[in-house]
Amino acid sequence: MSVVLVTGAGQGIGRSIALRLAADGHDIALVDINDKIDSVAEEVREKGRAATTFTADVSDRAQVFAAVEHAHNELGGFDVMINNAGIAQVAPLDDVRPEDTKKIWAVNVDGVLWGIQAAAAKFKALECKGKIVNASSIAGHDGFAMLGVYSATKFAVRALTQAAAKEYASHGITVNAYCPGVVGTDMWVTIDKRFAELTGAAEGETYDKFVGGIALGRAQTPEDVAAFVSYLAGPDSDYMTGQAPLIDGGLVFR
Ligand code: NAD
């Protein structure tokens, strides 16, 4: 039995990761900025695992450290940190202003860094060979038009993943990332609407266009992502660190 903390666990990919890891036999600490985590906690308990919730904004370092402390106190251990919370931003580079970069950087990059720090500190204190798993993206391997700053944040997550893997290897801590493609969550509803506003595309058209480029011929489900995170959070990935593999149905090839 081990304890996993998932950020952004209230919906979408984070919710699916929480449920998959509960099915795998982990106890789950669910963290999000809103109270959607309460119903996900119930779903975790229905799978026979313990769950606890903690409301935190991942861009606030103290709140992230408090979330890890809460998970340890409530669930009696701390083994895996999933830094999943993230936000999208659709804008041509010409339109981006300082307040825009500040906001997305605070959540997608600083939020992951605080999660890495908080988890590593707890793993070291517990002398636990823990695992840290971060959300990057296809946009962490390829800079997408209209998603330039979002792409920059996801490239940055790969950089942090590599550096953290090197810094913590001597403690037996591994750090990896997952890079999903086009997943049918609220995030994509927002991206598609914003593309429609900016380009005049019909609603749904951008999403369909992206999905049309996927070799396996369908959009990704949150469960597709969770299945890979299950591997990254479990013992089969013990010899892997500093990696950020694409799990996208065949969209970006590296
Ligand atoms: P989503 O918008 O459906 O859910 C994100 C969750 O994170 C929400 O519950 C939200 O409340 C929470 N969150 C947002 N800001 C937060 C903050 N500051 N502190 C705490 N929680 C916060 O998104 P999703 O599609 O489930 O994406 C999850 C992760 O996967 C993100 O990092 C995203 O960038 C990445 N990703 C998504 C896709 C996709 O196609 N949906 C593709 C590649 C990568």
With a 6 Å cutoff on the Cβ, whether 226 touches ligand 1 is no
Average pLDDT, the chain: 98
- pLDDT at site 79: 98
Task: Give mean pLDDT, residues 217-232.
Answer: 98
Structural domain includes residue 139? yes
Q: Judge whether 192 lies within some domain.
A: no
Does position 27 have pLDDT exceeding 70, yes or no? yes
Residue 223: the pLDDT is 98
- For residue 51, give every residue at least 6 positions away whose Cβ sits within 8 Å of its Cβ, in sequence order, or none: 18, 22, 27, 28, 29, 30, 40, 41, 42, 44, 45
- Within a domain: 193: no
Q: How confident is the model at residue 62 (pLDDT cuts 50, 70, 90)?
A: very high
Structural domain contains residue 211: no
- pLDDT of residue 74 exceeding 80, the answer is yes
CB atoms inside a 10 Å sphere around CB 7: 31
Q: Considering its fold, how many domains does the chain have in total?
A: 1
Question: Which of 60, 187, 210 for mutating ligand 1's site (highest number of atoms within 8 Å of CB)?
Answer: 187
Query: What number is the average pLDDT over the span 199-216?
Result: 97
User: Residue 145: how many CB atoms within 10 A of its CB?
Assistant: 11
Q: Mean per-residue pLDDT for 1-22?
A: 97
Task: Please report whether residue 81 resides in a domain.
Answer: yes
Closest atom of ligand 1 to CA, residue 34: 11
pLDDT in tens, 150-175: 999 999 999 999 999 999 999 999 99
pLDDT at residue 97 greater than cutoff 80:
yes
200 domain residue, yes or no: no
Mean per-residue pLDDT for 100-119?
98
Res 224 pLDDT > 80: yes
Q: What is the model's pLDDT at position 75?
A: 98
Mean pLDDT, rounded, for 44-69: 98
Q: How far is CA 44 from CA 15, 16, 33, in A?
A: 10, 10, 19
In a domain, 194, yes or no: no
Residue 15: which CATH number? Answer: 3.40.50.720
Domain-embedded: residue 80: yes
Give the pLDDT of residue 1. 66
**Mutation to probe ligand 1, out of 5, 16, 32 (largest number of atoms < 8 A from CB):** 32
Q: Which domain holds residue 151?
A: 3-182+221-247
- Looking at residue 18, its pLDDT comes to 99
